[in-house]
Amino acid sequence: MHLRFPKAWELPESAATPESAYLNRRAILKTLGLGAAALALAPRGLRATTAGFPTRVNADYRDPALKPTSYELITSYNNFYEFGTGKEDPKPNANRGWKTEPWTVELTGLINNPIKIDANDLVTKMGGAEQRVYRFRCVEAWSMVIPWDGFPLSKLIKFADPKPEAKFVTFTTFNDPKSAPGQRTGALDWPYFEGLRMDEAMNDLSFIATGIYGRPIPNQNGAPLRLVVPWKYGFKYGKSIVKIDFVAKEPVNTWKAMQAREYGFYANVNPMVDHPRWSQASERVIGAGGAFGTRQKTLMFNGYEAQVAGLYRGMDLRRNY
């Protein structure tokens, strides 16, 4: 017998609403309208990655209980150390001539289909883009809710066709100190680098984002391709990826290399395992309740326990943080 377990965010039949009711009708129309306007106004040759827009809403990932953070906040309160360490630095600094189009990404390593491919062509090969609303939790104990556009990472992995020896997927992000002032400092080891275990990467939640709110992803959020793994802390979400490498051994991600006692490889959101310098039991909700946000309890695996707990069965999550 085939038993189907509903995903936590799946709407019960009775709660199903027409698509237009989601995010409220005006917001969605505005989003689509703005997206189209942005594309139309962008001068030829300077466009962000636009393949796949307008995107289609994936009804499986639109929990009506999640209230998306405003576009303005998502795109102006950022962590992107290549463009400065302040939250307000990336927006101006990543938009002073840094070109994210055209963009080439390389799929390489233990795969049968190594390829260097233009970001737009990749989106087209992946069958276009869809929109999913996910919770986002930073290791610094703040959170947002973000409507991401993009495609499931599992599609890219199937396209790359890994060999059996490939146990991990790594993500190398761009390295361009001329355009990125932070890369002319030793703030981190450049380029920013991340990785996932193969079964984590194949989980349906793992996503490559190419947009936000139905618009091509802005430079400060990691144009044109960035990783999204909603049950993990935000530092796993490598921005502006240039290489996806399939490897046999667990890689050492940038923040673990910086400070292994504070940042691990797994980085699963876990309210019971505190950061050595602060509690992870609750989080500040950015954009809710005034400038400093309201606090809410942090959920195990950021609310995606039903989807991902099985990946870590039998593992000590205090040691594997």
Stretch that binds ligand MTE, among 11-19, 60-68, 233-241, 290-298 (CB under 6 A): 233-241
246 counts as binding ligand MTE under rule CB under 6 A: no
221 counts as binding ligand MTE under rule CB under 6 A: yes
9 counts as binding ligand MTE under rule CB under 6 A: no
Distance between CA atoms of 229 and 154, rounded to whole angstroms? Answer: 12
Contacts of 98 (CB under 8 A, 6+ apart): 176, 179, 180, 219
143 counts as binding ligand MTE under rule CB under 6 A: no
Q: State the burial class of residue 6 (Cβ atoms within 10 Å of its Cβ: 0-12, 13-18, 19+).
A: exposed
Could you say which of 53, 61, 71, 81 contacts ligand MTE (CB under 6 A)? Answer: 81
* Chain centroid offset of residue 321 CA: 19
Could you say which of 192, 265, 304, 321 contacts ligand MTE (CB under 6 A)? Answer: 192
Nearest approach in angstroms of CB 188 to ligand MTE is: 7
210 counts as binding ligand MTE under rule CB under 6 A: no
Nearest approach in angstroms of CB 240 to ligand MTE is: 6
Stretch that binds ligand MTE, among 72-80, 152-160, 299-307, 312-320 (CB under 6 A): 72-80
Contacts of 228 (CB under 8 A, 6+ apart): 134, 148, 150, 206, 207, 208, 209, 237
Contacts of 182 (CB under 8 A, 6+ apart): 80, 81, 82, 83, 84, 85, 188
Residue type for 2, please?
H
Stretch that binds ligand MTE, among 112-120, 122-130, 235-243, 296-304 (CB under 6 A): 235-243
Q: Which DSSP symbol is given to 218?
A: P
Could you say which of 62, 132, 239, 256 contacts ligand MTE (CB under 6 A)? Answer: 239
Q: Which residues sit at the interface with ligand MTE, rule CB under 6 A? A: 78-82, 138, 173, 192, 221, 234-235, 237-240
